[in-house]
Chain A
């Protein structure tokens, strides 16, 4: 069975600083990988996804993620954080398009002024 680990429960970052959120997955084949963001009391918004091809994926809001098969990782990065980036971030993995997604525990990002 697939699983997803987000080692950091909370991350506090200063506005304008860089951000990196870690995600490690466990799955036998090449997984479908996703990063979502959730604001309090809201649904999930897709930031980016990886299915195949270029391992560096660009997403919305200035986010990018890199798939590293050797490390079973799919870390999310942003060069310069804005106060509006404060939210909960979830990494998710799926076996194939249309299959159920398994979510990591989430990382809450706090942005200091």
Chain B
């Protein structure tokens, strides 16, 4: 079956630094990847949609310059949280889509900014 690998699973960083989260589709080429943010005991909020080789489409209210998304290949998308602050602490989940497999989710990344 389709597998999406997301890492790191947990990361702690200092306020003001940047952190990169990777999302890889291991055995399929994802035409589209999605990045979600989930607050404690809350639902998933879509941050952006990215297609390989093109700029990501951000949802309203999501800061493009803070949450940099790169989708350089059909198997890899990255989310970089720049100049992270404590309010950026959250659970981030990626999802990859391919017609045959539908939507496959990564296992998530717990980001804590101290």
- By a beta-carbon cutoff of 8 Å, the part of chain A in contact with chain B is 34, 36, 41-46, 49, 90, 97-98, 100-106, 108
Known: A43-B93, A98-B97. A104 touches B43 (CB 8 A): yes
**Is B73 part of the binding interface, using a Cβ–Cβ cutoff of 8 Å?**
no
Query: Quick one: closest A residue to B34, CB to CB?
Result: A100
Chain B residues with CB under 8 A of A98: 31-32, 97, 99
Inter-chain contact A105/B97, CB cutoff 8 Å = no
Q: Out of A36, A43, A45, A101, which one reaches B34, CB within 8 Å?
A: A101
- By a beta-carbon cutoff of 8 Å, the part of chain B in contact with chain A is 4, 6, 31-32, 34, 41-44, 46, 49, 91, 93, 95, 97, 99, 102-103, 105-108, 110
Known: A104-B43, A106-B43. A43 touches B103 (CB 8 A): no
Query: Quick one: closest B residue to A104, CB to CB?
Result: B43
Q: Out of A43, A97, A101, which one reaches B108, CB within 8 Å?
A: A43
- Chain A nearest CB, measured from B67 CB (Å): 16
Complex-state Cα separation, A106 to B34, whole angstroms: 19
